[in-house]
Chain A
Amino acid sequence: MNHWIKGVSSYAADIDGLFWLVTALIGFWFIVAQGIVIYFALKYRRKEGVKAAYITGKTWRELSWVFIPVVLVVMCDGWIDVATASVWHNVKETLPTADHKVGVMGQQWAWTFSHEGPDGKLGTPDDIVTVDDLHVVVNKVIHVDLQSKDVLHSFSIPVMRFKQDTIPGRSITGWFKPTVPGVYDVQCAEICGLGHGYMAARITVQTQADYDAWMKAVAAGATALPGAPAASPAPAAAPATQVPQK
Protein backbone atom coordinates (compact mmCIF):
# COMPACT_ATOMS: atom_id res chain seq x y z
CA MET A 1 0.00 0.00 0.00
CA ASN A 2 3.07 2.24 -0.04
CA HIS A 3 2.14 3.82 -3.32
CA TRP A 4 -0.95 5.42 -1.80
CA ILE A 5 -0.57 8.84 -0.25
CA LYS A 6 0.63 8.40 3.32
CA GLY A 7 -1.66 9.23 6.19
CA VAL A 8 0.18 11.04 8.98
CA SER A 9 -2.49 12.66 11.12
CA SER A 10 -4.37 11.30 14.13
CA TYR A 11 -7.56 10.94 12.09
CA ALA A 12 -6.13 9.94 8.70
CA ALA A 13 -6.88 6.25 9.28
CA ASP A 14 -10.51 6.99 10.18
CA ILE A 15 -11.03 8.96 7.00
CA ASP A 16 -9.31 6.28 4.95
CA GLY A 17 -11.57 3.73 6.67
CA LEU A 18 -14.61 5.59 5.33
CA PHE A 19 -13.05 5.77 1.90
CA TRP A 20 -12.50 2.03 1.82
CA LEU A 21 -15.95 1.29 3.20
CA VAL A 22 -17.57 3.37 0.46
CA THR A 23 -15.28 1.90 -2.19
CA ALA A 24 -16.02 -1.66 -1.05
CA LEU A 25 -19.81 -1.24 -0.88
CA ILE A 26 -20.07 0.62 -4.15
CA GLY A 27 -17.54 -1.73 -5.74
CA PHE A 28 -19.62 -4.73 -4.69
CA TRP A 29 -22.84 -3.31 -6.14
CA PHE A 30 -21.04 -2.14 -9.25
CA ILE A 31 -19.82 -5.64 -9.98
CA VAL A 32 -23.18 -7.23 -9.18
CA ALA A 33 -25.12 -4.72 -11.31
CA GLN A 34 -22.73 -4.88 -14.26
CA GLY A 35 -22.64 -8.67 -14.00
CA ILE A 36 -26.42 -8.89 -14.23
CA VAL A 37 -26.59 -6.43 -17.12
CA ILE A 38 -23.95 -8.30 -19.09
CA TYR A 39 -25.45 -11.70 -18.24
CA PHE A 40 -28.93 -10.60 -19.37
CA ALA A 41 -27.60 -8.91 -22.47
CA LEU A 42 -26.02 -12.19 -23.54
CA LYS A 43 -28.78 -14.49 -22.35
CA TYR A 44 -31.64 -12.55 -23.96
CA ARG A 45 -29.80 -11.45 -27.08
CA ARG A 46 -31.47 -11.46 -30.48
CA LYS A 47 -32.48 -14.95 -31.53
CA GLU A 48 -34.07 -16.23 -34.73
CA GLY A 49 -37.79 -16.47 -34.36
CA VAL A 50 -38.05 -14.85 -30.94
CA LYS A 51 -39.86 -11.56 -30.81
CA ALA A 52 -38.76 -8.83 -28.38
CA ALA A 53 -41.09 -8.55 -25.38
CA TYR A 54 -42.44 -5.25 -24.13
CA ILE A 55 -41.99 -5.29 -20.35
CA THR A 56 -43.97 -2.67 -18.48
CA GLY A 57 -42.91 -3.52 -14.93
CA LYS A 58 -46.41 -3.99 -13.63
CA THR A 59 -46.21 -7.39 -11.96
CA TRP A 60 -44.75 -7.83 -8.50
CA ARG A 61 -42.22 -10.26 -9.93
CA GLU A 62 -40.93 -7.57 -12.26
CA LEU A 63 -41.08 -4.82 -9.63
CA SER A 64 -39.05 -6.94 -7.23
CA TRP A 65 -36.06 -6.31 -9.50
CA VAL A 66 -36.36 -2.67 -8.52
CA PHE A 67 -37.45 -2.82 -4.91
CA ILE A 68 -35.16 -5.51 -3.52
CA PRO A 69 -32.00 -3.78 -4.75
CA VAL A 70 -33.33 -0.43 -3.50
CA VAL A 71 -33.83 -1.82 -0.01
CA LEU A 72 -30.38 -3.41 -0.01
CA VAL A 73 -28.69 -0.26 -1.28
CA VAL A 74 -30.49 1.93 1.25
CA MET A 75 -29.29 -0.43 3.98
CA CYS A 76 -25.73 0.05 2.73
CA ASP A 77 -26.37 3.78 2.74
CA GLY A 78 -27.39 3.59 6.36
CA TRP A 79 -24.22 1.67 7.11
CA ILE A 80 -22.14 4.45 5.51
CA ASP A 81 -24.14 7.15 7.33
CA VAL A 82 -23.56 5.55 10.70
CA ALA A 83 -19.85 5.07 10.03
CA THR A 84 -19.52 8.67 8.77
CA ALA A 85 -21.36 10.25 11.67
CA SER A 86 -18.79 9.24 14.25
CA VAL A 87 -15.81 10.24 12.10
CA TRP A 88 -17.43 13.55 11.19
CA HIS A 89 -18.16 14.15 14.84
CA ASN A 90 -14.58 13.45 15.90
CA VAL A 91 -12.94 15.40 13.09
CA LYS A 92 -15.24 18.31 12.30
CA GLU A 93 -17.51 18.79 15.30
CA THR A 94 -14.93 18.32 18.02
CA LEU A 95 -12.15 20.82 18.56
CA PRO A 96 -9.43 19.40 20.81
CA THR A 97 -7.53 21.98 22.83
CA ALA A 98 -4.77 23.56 20.77
CA ASP A 99 -1.10 22.97 21.56
CA HIS A 100 -0.10 25.38 18.81
CA LYS A 101 -1.94 27.84 16.61
CA VAL A 102 -1.02 28.77 13.05
CA GLY A 103 -2.48 31.53 10.92
CA VAL A 104 -3.03 30.51 7.30
CA MET A 105 -3.66 33.21 4.71
CA GLY A 106 -4.54 32.23 1.17
CA GLN A 107 -3.90 34.69 -1.61
CA GLN A 108 -3.34 34.60 -5.34
CA TRP A 109 -1.11 32.50 -5.47
CA ALA A 110 0.65 31.63 -2.29
CA TRP A 111 0.07 30.53 1.29
CA THR A 112 1.32 32.77 4.07
CA PHE A 113 1.77 31.12 7.46
CA SER A 114 2.01 32.93 10.80
CA HIS A 115 3.66 30.82 13.50
CA GLU A 116 3.64 31.65 17.19
CA GLY A 117 7.01 33.20 17.90
CA PRO A 118 9.15 32.39 20.94
CA ASP A 119 6.43 33.89 23.18
CA GLY A 120 4.06 31.08 22.22
CA LYS A 121 1.28 33.48 21.20
CA LEU A 122 -0.18 34.20 17.80
CA GLY A 123 -0.81 37.78 16.73
CA THR A 124 2.18 39.31 18.53
CA PRO A 125 5.14 41.10 16.91
CA ASP A 126 7.46 38.11 17.33
CA ASP A 127 5.27 35.89 15.11
CA ILE A 128 7.23 34.11 12.42
CA VAL A 129 5.67 34.68 9.04
CA THR A 130 6.68 32.52 6.10
CA VAL A 131 5.54 32.07 2.55
CA ASP A 132 4.70 28.53 1.41
CA ASP A 133 6.63 27.05 4.34
CA LEU A 134 4.66 25.72 7.32
CA HIS A 135 6.37 24.23 10.37
CA VAL A 136 4.56 22.20 13.04
CA VAL A 137 5.52 19.97 15.94
CA VAL A 138 4.78 16.26 15.77
CA ASN A 139 2.06 14.82 18.05
CA LYS A 140 0.71 18.24 18.94
CA VAL A 141 -2.79 19.47 18.19
CA ILE A 142 -2.45 22.27 15.64
CA HIS A 143 -5.24 24.79 15.17
CA VAL A 144 -5.22 26.53 11.81
CA ASP A 145 -6.97 29.87 11.43
CA LEU A 146 -7.90 29.96 7.75
CA GLN A 147 -8.40 33.23 5.91
CA SER A 148 -8.21 34.55 2.38
CA LYS A 149 -7.03 37.90 1.07
CA ASP A 150 -8.86 37.78 -2.24
CA VAL A 151 -10.89 34.86 -3.59
CA LEU A 152 -11.87 31.35 -2.49
CA HIS A 153 -8.97 29.00 -1.92
CA SER A 154 -8.90 25.61 -0.26
CA PHE A 155 -6.16 24.70 2.16
CA SER A 156 -5.35 21.06 1.53
CA ILE A 157 -2.73 18.84 3.16
CA PRO A 158 -3.30 15.44 1.55
CA VAL A 159 -1.21 13.42 4.03
CA MET A 160 -3.14 14.90 6.96
CA ARG A 161 -6.46 14.25 5.17
CA PHE A 162 -7.12 17.90 5.89
CA LYS A 163 -8.96 20.12 3.42
CA GLN A 164 -10.93 23.26 4.11
CA ASP A 165 -11.94 26.26 2.00
CA THR A 166 -10.65 29.68 2.91
CA ILE A 167 -13.20 32.41 2.37
CA PRO A 168 -12.54 36.16 2.09
CA GLY A 169 -13.90 38.01 5.11
CA ARG A 170 -14.19 34.89 7.21
CA SER A 171 -11.96 33.18 9.70
CA ILE A 172 -12.39 29.41 9.86
CA THR A 173 -10.76 27.22 12.45
CA GLY A 174 -9.59 23.72 11.61
CA TRP A 175 -7.32 21.27 13.37
CA PHE A 176 -5.05 18.30 12.82
CA LYS A 177 -2.52 16.38 14.82
CA PRO A 178 0.49 15.24 12.79
CA THR A 179 1.93 11.89 13.85
CA VAL A 180 5.00 11.33 11.68
CA PRO A 181 7.88 13.80 11.18
CA GLY A 182 8.67 14.61 7.58
CA VAL A 183 8.21 17.12 4.80
CA TYR A 184 4.90 16.96 2.95
CA ASP A 185 2.98 18.76 0.22
CA VAL A 186 0.36 21.44 0.72
CA GLN A 187 -1.86 22.50 -2.14
CA CYS A 188 -4.70 24.78 -3.07
CA ALA A 189 -7.76 22.67 -3.88
CA GLU A 190 -10.10 25.35 -5.18
CA ILE A 191 -9.58 26.92 -8.60
CA CYS A 192 -8.50 30.47 -7.77
CA GLY A 193 -7.21 32.00 -10.99
CA LEU A 194 -4.37 31.75 -13.47
CA GLY A 195 -1.74 30.68 -10.96
CA HIS A 196 -3.86 28.13 -9.07
CA GLY A 197 -1.67 25.25 -10.24
CA TYR A 198 1.41 26.95 -8.82
CA MET A 199 -0.08 27.49 -5.40
CA ALA A 200 1.84 24.70 -3.75
CA ALA A 201 3.50 24.87 -0.34
CA ARG A 202 5.31 22.60 2.07
CA ILE A 203 4.63 21.45 5.62
CA THR A 204 7.51 20.32 7.80
CA VAL A 205 6.48 18.13 10.73
CA GLN A 206 9.33 18.06 13.22
CA THR A 207 10.21 17.16 16.79
CA GLN A 208 9.97 19.82 19.45
CA ALA A 209 13.79 20.12 19.49
CA ASP A 210 14.02 20.60 15.72
CA TYR A 211 11.16 23.06 15.79
CA ASP A 212 12.80 25.09 18.52
CA ALA A 213 16.08 25.09 16.57
CA TRP A 214 14.25 26.29 13.46
CA MET A 215 12.55 29.05 15.39
CA LYS A 216 15.84 30.12 16.95
CA ALA A 217 17.51 30.24 13.54
CA VAL A 218 14.72 32.37 12.15
CA ALA A 219 14.75 34.68 15.17
CA ALA A 220 18.54 34.98 14.87
CA GLY A 221 18.20 36.31 11.36
CA ALA A 222 19.15 33.25 9.32
CA THR A 223 15.63 33.93 8.32
CA ALA A 224 13.16 31.78 6.51
CA LEU A 225 11.80 34.99 5.06
CA PRO A 226 13.28 35.72 1.65
CA GLY A 227 12.27 39.34 1.81
CA ALA A 228 12.83 40.02 5.48
CA PRO A 229 14.00 43.54 6.25
CA ALA A 230 17.65 43.62 5.40
CA ALA A 231 20.28 44.71 7.84
CA SER A 232 21.45 47.17 5.25
CA PRO A 233 24.78 48.93 5.21
CA ALA A 234 24.99 52.61 5.99
CA PRO A 235 23.78 54.82 3.16
CA ALA A 236 26.46 55.03 0.52
CA ALA A 237 24.98 57.95 -1.34
CA ALA A 238 27.00 59.76 -3.89
CA PRO A 239 29.14 62.35 -2.12
CA ALA A 240 27.57 65.75 -1.74
CA THR A 241 30.19 67.32 -3.98
CA GLN A 242 28.28 65.89 -6.94
CA VAL A 243 25.36 68.21 -6.26
CA PRO A 244 24.96 70.22 -9.42
CA GLN A 245 25.75 73.81 -8.56
CA LYS A 246 23.28 76.18 -10.00
Chain B
Amino acid sequence: MRTSLPFAFAVVATLAMSFMSSRAFAGDPSGLSGKQLFFRCVNCHGADGQGLKAGTLQVPSIAGLDAWYLEGQIMKFRNDTRGAHPNDTKGLMMRAMARSLNGDAEVKAVSAYIASLAPKVEKPDTSADIKRGQQLYTMVCMACHGANSQGNPDPNIRAPSQVALESWYIQEQLVKFRTGVRGSVKDLEGLRMVPMVRDALPLMAKNLGATLEEADRDILAYINTLSGKP
Protein backbone atom coordinates (compact mmCIF):
# COMPACT_ATOMS: atom_id res chain seq x y z
CA MET B 1 0.00 0.00 0.00
CA ARG B 2 3.04 2.23 0.29
CA THR B 3 3.19 2.82 -3.48
CA SER B 4 -0.42 3.92 -3.85
CA LEU B 5 0.14 7.65 -3.28
CA PRO B 6 2.78 8.22 -5.99
CA PHE B 7 0.78 5.95 -8.25
CA ALA B 8 -2.41 7.95 -7.77
CA PHE B 9 -0.44 11.12 -8.36
CA ALA B 10 0.95 9.79 -11.63
CA VAL B 11 -2.52 8.84 -12.85
CA VAL B 12 -3.97 12.24 -11.99
CA ALA B 13 -1.04 14.07 -13.60
CA THR B 14 -1.33 12.04 -16.81
CA LEU B 15 -5.05 12.69 -17.06
CA ALA B 16 -4.57 16.39 -16.36
CA MET B 17 -1.88 16.68 -19.01
CA SER B 18 -3.89 14.93 -21.67
CA PHE B 19 -6.84 17.17 -20.84
CA MET B 20 -4.70 20.28 -21.11
CA SER B 21 -3.14 19.26 -24.41
CA SER B 22 -6.54 18.44 -25.89
CA ARG B 23 -7.63 21.95 -24.94
CA ALA B 24 -4.57 23.44 -26.57
CA PHE B 25 -5.54 21.75 -29.83
CA ALA B 26 -9.13 22.91 -29.65
CA GLY B 27 -8.23 26.24 -31.26
CA ASP B 28 -8.79 28.56 -28.32
CA PRO B 29 -7.43 32.04 -28.88
CA SER B 30 -3.97 31.86 -27.38
CA GLY B 31 -3.91 35.31 -25.81
CA LEU B 32 -0.25 35.63 -26.86
CA SER B 33 1.11 39.13 -27.37
CA GLY B 34 2.50 40.29 -30.72
CA LYS B 35 6.00 39.96 -29.35
CA GLN B 36 5.38 36.38 -28.20
CA LEU B 37 3.83 35.45 -31.53
CA PHE B 38 6.85 36.91 -33.30
CA PHE B 39 9.03 34.16 -31.75
CA ARG B 40 7.62 31.95 -34.50
CA CYS B 41 8.99 34.24 -37.15
CA VAL B 42 12.55 34.84 -35.89
CA ASN B 43 13.88 31.55 -37.28
CA CYS B 44 13.55 33.05 -40.72
CA HIS B 45 13.02 36.80 -40.40
CA GLY B 46 15.66 37.25 -37.69
CA ALA B 47 15.35 38.36 -34.09
CA ASP B 48 14.68 41.99 -35.04
CA GLY B 49 12.79 41.19 -38.22
CA GLN B 50 15.80 42.30 -40.27
CA GLY B 51 15.75 39.23 -42.47
CA LEU B 52 18.49 36.65 -42.76
CA LYS B 53 20.17 34.19 -45.02
CA ALA B 54 19.83 30.61 -43.83
CA GLY B 55 21.86 28.42 -46.17
CA THR B 56 20.55 29.21 -49.62
CA LEU B 57 17.29 30.62 -48.31
CA GLN B 58 17.27 34.39 -48.15
CA VAL B 59 14.38 35.78 -46.15
CA PRO B 60 13.36 39.42 -46.38
CA SER B 61 13.50 42.06 -43.70
CA ILE B 62 9.97 42.99 -42.63
CA ALA B 63 10.76 45.26 -39.67
CA GLY B 64 9.06 48.63 -39.74
CA LEU B 65 6.63 47.92 -42.58
CA ASP B 66 3.23 49.53 -42.07
CA ALA B 67 0.87 47.49 -39.91
CA TRP B 68 -1.97 47.72 -42.46
CA TYR B 69 0.29 46.32 -45.15
CA LEU B 70 1.67 43.53 -42.95
CA GLU B 71 -1.84 42.48 -41.94
CA GLY B 72 -2.99 42.53 -45.54
CA GLN B 73 -0.08 40.39 -46.73
CA ILE B 74 -0.35 37.85 -43.92
CA MET B 75 -4.06 37.51 -44.68
CA LYS B 76 -3.20 36.99 -48.36
CA PHE B 77 -0.77 34.22 -47.47
CA ARG B 78 -3.50 32.68 -45.33
CA ASN B 79 -6.26 32.75 -47.94
CA ASP B 80 -4.28 31.66 -51.00
CA THR B 81 -4.07 35.04 -52.71
CA ARG B 82 -0.30 35.32 -52.28
CA GLY B 83 2.33 32.59 -52.15
CA ALA B 84 0.00 29.96 -53.62
CA HIS B 85 1.49 29.81 -57.10
CA PRO B 86 3.25 26.50 -57.88
CA ASN B 87 6.44 28.37 -58.82
CA ASP B 88 6.45 30.62 -55.76
CA THR B 89 8.88 28.55 -53.71
CA LYS B 90 9.44 31.14 -50.99
CA GLY B 91 5.84 32.28 -51.00
CA LEU B 92 4.71 28.72 -50.35
CA MET B 93 6.93 28.64 -47.26
CA MET B 94 5.52 31.85 -45.90
CA ARG B 95 2.01 30.65 -46.70
CA ALA B 96 2.49 27.74 -44.31
CA MET B 97 3.89 30.02 -41.60
CA ALA B 98 1.03 32.52 -41.96
CA ARG B 99 -1.32 29.63 -41.22
CA SER B 100 0.37 29.02 -37.91
CA LEU B 101 -1.34 32.16 -36.61
CA ASN B 102 -4.69 31.53 -35.02
CA GLY B 103 -7.27 33.98 -36.32
CA ASP B 104 -7.45 37.67 -37.18
CA ALA B 105 -6.58 38.86 -33.67
CA GLU B 106 -3.18 37.15 -33.79
CA VAL B 107 -2.51 38.49 -37.29
CA LYS B 108 -3.23 42.01 -36.01
CA ALA B 109 -1.12 41.60 -32.88
CA VAL B 110 1.97 40.27 -34.65
CA SER B 111 1.66 42.89 -37.42
CA ALA B 112 1.54 45.71 -34.88
CA TYR B 113 4.65 44.35 -33.22
CA ILE B 114 6.60 44.01 -36.50
CA ALA B 115 5.56 47.54 -37.50
CA SER B 116 7.09 48.81 -34.26
CA LEU B 117 10.53 47.35 -35.05
CA ALA B 118 13.27 49.56 -36.49
CA PRO B 119 13.42 49.23 -40.30
CA LYS B 120 16.57 48.09 -42.07
CA VAL B 121 18.48 50.91 -43.75
CA GLU B 122 20.31 50.28 -47.02
CA LYS B 123 22.77 52.60 -48.76
CA PRO B 124 21.91 53.41 -52.39
CA ASP B 125 23.85 51.42 -54.99
CA THR B 126 26.45 53.88 -56.29
CA SER B 127 26.92 52.04 -59.57
CA ALA B 128 23.34 52.92 -60.50
CA ASP B 129 22.06 55.93 -62.40
CA ILE B 130 20.04 57.45 -59.58
CA LYS B 131 18.81 60.30 -61.73
CA ARG B 132 17.31 57.88 -64.24
CA GLY B 133 15.96 55.92 -61.29
CA GLN B 134 14.19 59.07 -60.15
CA GLN B 135 12.71 59.64 -63.59
CA LEU B 136 11.44 56.11 -63.85
CA TYR B 137 10.12 56.09 -60.31
CA THR B 138 8.30 59.36 -60.87
CA MET B 139 6.77 58.14 -64.10
CA VAL B 140 5.80 54.64 -63.14
CA CYS B 141 5.76 54.09 -59.39
CA MET B 142 5.04 57.41 -57.70
CA ALA B 143 1.33 57.59 -58.43
CA CYS B 144 0.68 54.69 -56.09
CA HIS B 145 3.73 54.36 -53.83
CA GLY B 146 4.03 58.13 -53.18
CA ALA B 147 6.69 60.76 -53.88
CA ASN B 148 8.82 59.67 -50.91
CA SER B 149 7.65 56.07 -51.11
CA GLN B 150 5.57 56.67 -48.03
CA GLY B 151 2.95 54.22 -49.29
CA ASN B 152 -0.78 54.76 -49.68
CA PRO B 153 -3.32 52.86 -47.58
CA ASP B 154 -6.28 54.24 -49.57
CA PRO B 155 -8.55 51.21 -50.22
CA ASN B 156 -8.33 51.84 -53.97
CA ILE B 157 -4.55 51.80 -53.93
CA ARG B 158 -3.06 50.03 -50.92
CA ALA B 159 0.50 50.33 -52.16
CA PRO B 160 3.15 49.91 -49.43
CA SER B 161 6.13 52.04 -48.60
CA GLN B 162 9.21 50.40 -50.12
CA VAL B 163 11.94 52.07 -48.07
CA ALA B 164 12.01 49.39 -45.37
CA LEU B 165 12.42 46.68 -48.02
CA GLU B 166 15.76 45.28 -49.13
CA SER B 167 16.77 45.74 -52.76
CA TRP B 168 17.24 42.04 -53.50
CA TYR B 169 13.74 41.40 -52.20
CA ILE B 170 12.14 44.17 -54.28
CA GLN B 171 13.94 42.80 -57.33
CA GLU B 172 12.61 39.29 -56.64
CA GLN B 173 9.09 40.61 -56.24
CA LEU B 174 9.27 42.62 -59.49
CA VAL B 175 10.16 39.39 -61.28
CA LYS B 176 7.26 37.61 -59.58
CA PHE B 177 4.82 40.31 -60.69
CA ARG B 178 6.21 40.13 -64.23
CA THR B 179 5.97 36.37 -64.53
CA GLY B 180 2.49 36.00 -63.07
CA VAL B 181 3.72 34.37 -59.87
CA ARG B 182 2.35 37.26 -57.79
CA GLY B 183 -0.77 39.26 -58.62
CA SER B 184 -3.84 37.48 -60.01
CA VAL B 185 -7.55 37.91 -60.48
CA LYS B 186 -7.91 36.75 -56.89
CA ASP B 187 -5.39 39.36 -55.72
CA LEU B 188 -6.54 42.64 -57.23
CA GLU B 189 -3.99 44.72 -55.30
CA GLY B 190 -1.16 42.60 -56.58
CA LEU B 191 -2.75 42.75 -60.02
CA ARG B 192 -2.37 46.55 -59.99
CA MET B 193 1.37 46.06 -59.97
CA VAL B 194 1.47 43.64 -62.90
CA PRO B 195 0.94 45.98 -65.89
CA MET B 196 3.14 48.59 -64.21
CA VAL B 197 6.27 46.52 -63.92
CA ARG B 198 5.60 44.07 -66.74
CA ASP B 199 4.43 46.47 -69.46
CA ALA B 200 4.82 50.12 -68.51
CA LEU B 201 8.30 50.01 -66.99
CA PRO B 202 10.05 48.28 -69.93
CA LEU B 203 8.41 50.84 -72.24
CA MET B 204 9.58 53.82 -70.19
CA ALA B 205 13.02 52.30 -69.77
CA LYS B 206 13.30 51.97 -73.54
CA ASN B 207 12.36 55.63 -73.96
CA LEU B 208 15.22 56.54 -71.65
CA GLY B 209 17.64 54.22 -73.44
CA ALA B 210 17.91 51.74 -70.56
CA THR B 211 17.50 47.99 -70.45
CA LEU B 212 14.98 46.55 -68.03
CA GLU B 213 17.80 45.33 -65.74
CA GLU B 214 19.25 48.84 -65.63
CA ALA B 215 15.82 50.31 -65.00
CA ASP B 216 15.25 47.98 -62.05
CA ARG B 217 18.69 48.71 -60.63
CA ASP B 218 18.26 52.47 -60.97
CA ILE B 219 14.81 52.48 -59.37
CA LEU B 220 16.03 50.38 -56.44
CA ALA B 221 18.94 52.75 -55.88
CA TYR B 222 16.59 55.73 -56.02
CA ILE B 223 14.18 54.12 -53.53
CA ASN B 224 17.09 53.85 -51.10
CA THR B 225 17.47 57.64 -51.19
CA LEU B 226 13.85 58.21 -50.16
CA SER B 227 12.69 58.97 -46.64
CA GLY B 228 9.42 57.09 -46.60
CA LYS B 229 7.89 60.08 -44.79
CA PRO B 230 4.81 61.79 -46.26
Contact = CB atoms under 8 A, between A and B. Distances in A.
Chains A and B belong together in one complex: yes
Interface of A: 105, 107-110, 112, 129-131, 149, 194-195, 197-199, 225-238, 240, 242-244
Contacts of B107: none
A35 B89 CA distance: 56
Given A225-B85, A229-B180, A237 B204 contact: yes
Contact of B135 (A108, A110, A243): A243
B91 to A, nearest CB: 8
Contact of A237 (B43, B191, B196): B196
Interface of B: 43-44, 80-82, 84-86, 88-89, 92-93, 95-97, 99-100, 134-135, 138-140, 142-143, 179-187, 191, 194-196, 198-200, 203-204
A227 B89 CA distance: 12
B186 A234 contact: no
A235 B194 CA distance: 9
Contacts of A195: 93, 96-97, 100
Contact of A235 (B134, B186, B191, B203): B203
Contacts of A228: 85, 180, 184-185
B195 A235 contact: yes
A244 B222 CA distance: 15
Given A194-B43, A227-B182, A244-B138, A232 B191 contact: yes
Nearest to A226: B84
A227 B180 contact: yes
Q: Which 6 residue pairs of A and B lie closest in terms of their CB atoms, listed nearest first?
A: A227-B85, A195-B96, A229-B180, A237-B200, A109-B96, A235-B199
B138 A110 contact: no
Contacts of A130: 86
Contacts of B199: 232, 234-235, 237
Contacts of B142: 238
Contact of A232 (B100, B181, B198): B198
A108 B93 contact: yes
A15 to B, nearest CB: 28
B85 A238 contact: no
A243 B204 CA distance: 10
Contacts of A236: 195, 200
B195 A234 contact: yes
A227 B184 contact: yes
A240 B138 CA distance: 11
A194 B180 contact: no
A226 B198 contact: no
Given A234-B195, A242-B138, 10 more contacts: A108-B96, A130-B86, A225-B184, A226-B81, A227-B88, A230-B185, A230-B194, A231-B185, A237-B199, A243-B139
A201 to B, nearest CB: 12
A99 B203 CA distance: 48
A228 B185 CA distance: 8
Nearest to B96: A195
Given A237-B203, A238-B142, A242-B138, A110 B182 contact: no
Given A107-B92, A131-B84, A242-B139, A194 B196 contact: no
A243 to B, nearest CB: 6
B196 A227 contact: no
B178 to A, nearest CB: 10
Given A194-B43, A232-B191, A243-B139, A226 B200 contact: no
Contact of B139 (A109, A225, A238): A238
B175 to A, nearest CB: 13
A131 B183 contact: no
B69 to A, nearest CB: 19
Interface centre among A131, A227, A244 (most CB of B within 10 A): A227
Nearest to A196: B96
**Counting chain B CB atoms within 10 Å of each CB, which of A110, A225, A240 scores highest?**
A110
B85 A198 contact: no
